[in-house]
Structures are given as C-alpha cells and as structure tokens.
Amino acid sequence: CERQNGALWTRFTVQYNLFAGSIVALGSDEQREELISEQLSGRLGCFSFTEKGTGVLSGAGVETTATFDAATAEFVINSPNKSSCKNWISQGMYAEEAVILADLIIAGERKGPHLFWARVADAAGGKQQKDSMARPIPRAGVTVDSNPEKTCMHGLDNATMSYKNFRVPLSGMLSRFCEVTQNNSDGDEDEDGKATGSEGKGRGSSRTRKSNSKGRSNVAKTEFGRTACGASISIAFWFK
C-alpha cells in the first residue's frame, strides 16, 4: 500500500504534467529553455486553473481576468469576485511559481482564456537562508489560503488563490500558438506564421484541457489503487 501514496503521486502530476507540462505544450522555445533552469532550482509550481464558480468543471468558465497594459508591457491579473477565486489548487501553499488561467482583455475586448506563467511567491528568508519547511511568501497582489482539512492525502496541500492587480510581464504569456506584443494586439498571424488569434487560442485551450484531464485521471487511478489495496487487506484479515 505504501506504493499507492496518492499525495506524492498527485504532487508529481501537478509539477510535471499540469505545471511544467503546460509550459512544454504551450510555451515558446525560449520559455521551454527557461523552464529547464527553473526546474533545476528546485522551486515548486502549481496549476492555478480551477475556479470556485465552476466547481468540478475546471476551465468551463473563467472569470479571472488578465488585462494587457500596453504602457508597461504587462498583464494585470485580477479576481473580480468570490467565484473567480482559484480553488483546490494542489501544491498551492508551497508553490513559488504558477501557470494561471485568465481571460485576456486587450483594449477593452475579451480575447478568451489564455495561460500565464508567473512567479507568485518567494522563499521564506530569501535565497541565502531558504528554509525548505517554511511556506513561501506570496508576492504583492497574490493571496494564498489553505483549503479545509481533507479526509485523506494529508501529505498534499490544497489552496485557494486570488489576485488583485497582480502584474505579469509580457514574456509570461505562454506563446507557442498565441502571443501579444505592444504593436500587435493578438492579431491573425505573424511573419513566421504563428497563430495569434482565434486559431491559436483554440489549439491552446484544447491542449490545456487535455493536460487537466490527464492529471485528474492519474489522481483517480492512484486512489483506485489505494482502495483496491485496502480491500485486499480487509479480505485477508476477514479470512484469517
């Protein structure tokens, strides 16, 4: 049964499938290269995706907004109401980085859901005195709280995450299929043929849903294994 550690395996799928996997699938070549160095640093990441208003239908609705500020070349991320608060974010209490799902707004026009990679917290005590057991300190504009205690998988933290005028640099938008520049407001295609309009948005959303579905199926598979293990022990005890 020790091999069926649901908390540990969930951390693996969050770190390498949902967080890093989204960057690999939807990030530019430069972002992929940056991911390698970030992983070597040992910093944890999370997938700031599911919102309270959607329940278990992750991604079915997105109220979190990312408004492009052309003057500073940044995205300003906000959680406009309670239902837009990110919920049950696995590894969120100890993550220093996050991939955030938000509705992109440019010049007042909604462009649909996009993913943004950002540093959301800093190690307690700074780089020189990092305490691996201490919770990271959320950056300005980021609020992280713990979900209620669960009945199982106590080795996995789950968090709520909300944003208020949290600024993400232009380079933080995952841009393999869709990008924004100060001179290009999410247009059709750039000179290299990269989709920056609805086509890119569609492909990106599809891959995001696939990653999320894969992560959830892995969690379900692990818990099924734990249940089977428990049942086999109970049956063996009964026939002793």
The pTM of this model reads: 0.78
User: Which pLDDT does position 210 carry in this prediction?
Assistant: 55
| Distance (Å) of CA 210 to CA 55, 80, 145 | 18, 27, 27
> Which stretches of the chain score pLDDT less than 50?
1-2, 128, 187-202
Burial code (b: 16+ CB inside 10 Å, e: under 16) for 102-137 equals bbbbeeeeebbbbbbbbbbbebeeeeeeeeeeeebe
User: Which pLDDT does position 202 carry in this prediction?
Assistant: 46
Instruction: Locate 98 and state its tokens.
Output: 């996050």
Instruction: Return the ∠ at Cα 219 (arms to 213 and 223), rounded to 5°.
Output: 145
User: Which pLDDT does position 195 carry in this prediction?
Assistant: 36
- CA 117 – CA 174 distance, rounded (Å): 7
User: Which pLDDT does position 63 carry in this prediction?
Assistant: 96
| Residues forming beta bridges with residue 104, ordered by sequence position | 66, 112
